[in-house]
């Protein structure tokens, strides 16, 4: 039993949005989609760190990785578990303020375990605005879902000028999940 996860789930089931932490296969599929080596990465909703661990195994560097977790006890747990990685305890709705990027220091990858299907539409828009304001032009958002549908509707993706593609289906996860990647088309007119 993953005790920190179970305790967080009992404290706030809707926020956690899953009954078990991401399994190794899903965590690896997420990390492979991120191609993390050398990239500046923001992980949102890392929970107990299954995906963080997979990112490190796939070559992410601790100095370039930043974790944003709303649950204060999980955030403290992650700080102890991953020395050298910046952990921010806060809400994804305030991502940009919490991160405070210097001008020009955008992320190459945002990788999210947020339970987007449980998030109210208005909050989802705020969170996505924050995420896409921090991604550079070649950047990608990686997100998994347990739904057969995309985690971000095509109308919402259009609103942010990104295109989504499913990069993996992970049947060896409970429940089975799919990994989606969102990026700007190469001809996108990107304004900073």
Ligand X SMILES: C[S@@+](CC[C@H](N)C(=O)[O-])C[C@H]1O[C@@H](n2cnc3c(N)ncnc32)[C@H](O)[C@@H]1O
Interface residue with ligand X among 31, 41, 68, 111 (CB under 6 A) is 68
Asked if 151 touches ligand X (CB under 6 A), the answer is: no
Of residues 3 through 32, those in contact with ligand X by CB under 6 A are 5, 8, 15-18, 21-22
Which among 31-39, 41-49, 157-165, 175-183 is the span making contact with ligand X, rule CB under 6 A?
A: 41-49
77 binds ligand X (CB under 6 A): no
Find the shortest distance in angstroms from Cβ 90 to ligand X.
Answer: 7
Which of the residues 46 through 65 are near ligand X (CB under 6 A)? 47-48, 50-51
Q: Which is closer to ligand X, CB of 29 or CB of 162?
A: 29
* Burial letters 108-133, b for 16+ CB under 10 A, else e: bbbbbbbbbeebeeeebebbbebbbe
Question: How far is it, in rounded angstroms, from Cα 168 to Cα 142?
Answer: 11
The least distance separating ligand X from the CB of residue 123, rounded to whole angstroms, comes to 7
Assess 150 for contact with ligand X (CB under 6 A).
no
Alpha helices per DSSP H over the chain: 3-11, 13-16, 24-34, 50-57, 72-81, 95-99, 121-134, 154-159
**Can you tell me which of 60, 92, 128, 142 binds ligand X, judged by CB under 6 A?**
92
Contacts of 60 (CB under 8 A, 6+ apart): 31, 34, 36, 37, 39, 41
Single residue of 77, 91, 139, 180 touching ligand X by CB under 6 A: 91
Residue 147 · residue 117 · CB < 8 Å = yes
Measured CA distances, 160 to 22, 64, 86, 157 (Å): 27, 25, 27, 5
Query: Which residues of this protein are in contact with ligand X, per CB under 6 A?
Result: 5, 8, 15-18, 21-22, 44-45, 47-48, 50-51, 68-71, 74, 91-93, 113-115
């Amino acid at each position: 039993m993953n005790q920190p996860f179970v305790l967080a789930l009992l404290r706030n089931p809707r926020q956690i949005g899953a009954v078990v932490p991401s399994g190794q296969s899903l965590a690896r599929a997420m990390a492979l989609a991120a191609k993390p080596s050398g990239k500046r990465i923001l992980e949102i909703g890392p929970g107990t760190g299954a995906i963080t661990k997979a990112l490190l195994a796939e070559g992410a560097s601790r100095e370039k990785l930043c974790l944003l977790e709303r649950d204060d006890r999980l955030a403290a747990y992650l700080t102890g578990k991953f020395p050298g990685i910046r952990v921010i305890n806060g809400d994804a709705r305030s991502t940009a303020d919490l991160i405070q990027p210097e001008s020009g220091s955008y992320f190459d990858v945002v990788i999210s375990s947020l339970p987007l299907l449980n998030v109210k539409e208005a909050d989802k828009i705020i969170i996505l605005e924050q995420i896409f304001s921090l991604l550079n032009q070649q950047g990608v958002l990686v997100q998994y879902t347990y739904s057969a549908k995309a985690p971000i509707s095509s109308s919402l993706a259009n609103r942010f000028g990104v295109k989504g593609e499913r990069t993996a289906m992970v049947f060896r996860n409970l429940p089975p999940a799919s990994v989606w990647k969102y990026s700007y088309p190469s001809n996108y007119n990107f304004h900073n």
